[in-house]
Structure 1
Amino acid sequence: MPIYEYLSEAPEDPERSCRVCRQGFELRRPIDRPALEQCPLCKHPVRKVISKVNTPRIAKPLSVSDAKAAGFTILQKRDQGVYEKL
């Protein structure tokens, strides 16, 4: 189930938002459900926020031994169209 982030429509106005929706909150919801329109606590309007995607970062290329340990097959080109398994 994906995690969606929501934020109050008026985060600077304490009369139109509670502490939870003013700071923003996350909610796990099925994909087929429509986006929330109201805060579950204070019932004031909220909007769905597009958040950044978390992707793994590799600082250095994998060595042959690291790739083998991860389960990859390592091939090295020997001739025209001929590869040898390391």
Structure 2
Amino acid sequence: MPLYEYISQHPDDPERSCRICARGFELRRPVDREALESCPLCKHPVRKVISQVSTPRVVKPFSTVDAKKAGFTVLEKRDEGVYERQ
């Protein structure tokens, strides 16, 4: 089941949100269910938030030595269309 994030539609107004939905909360829900429209605690309106996605970053390009240590086969171009192992 995916994890969805929700936040109050009025996070700065304590009259229209509780401390949970004003700060935002996560909820695990099946994909086929509709998005929440109200906070389960205070019943005030909430909206679904698009989360940031964590992706790995390569900070430096692989060297030939790093590629070999990682188990890759390193090829070097010799002629037109001819490659040879290093």
Does 2:34 align with 1:34?
Answer: yes
Is the partner of 2:68 in helix, strand or coil? helix
Deviation at 1:76, TM superposition (A): 1.9
Distance 1:3 1:66, change over 3 A: farther
1:59 maps to 59
1:19 maps to 19
1:4 maps to 4
Separation in structure 2 between the aligned mates of residue 34 and residue 71 of structure 1, nearest angstrom: 45
Separation in structure 1 between the aligned mates of residue 8 and residue 36 of structure 2, nearest angstrom: 11
Deviation at 1:81, TM superposition (A): 0.5
TM value normalised by structure 2: 0.82
Which runs of no fewer than 5 residues in structure 2 stay unpaired?
none
Structure 1 moving runs of 4+ over 4 Å: none
How many pairs align? Answer: 86
Separation in structure 2 between the aligned mates of residue 71 and residue 31 of structure 1, nearest angstrom: 38
> RMSD over aligned Cα, in angstroms?
1.7
Which runs of no fewer than 5 residues in structure 1 stay unpaired?
none
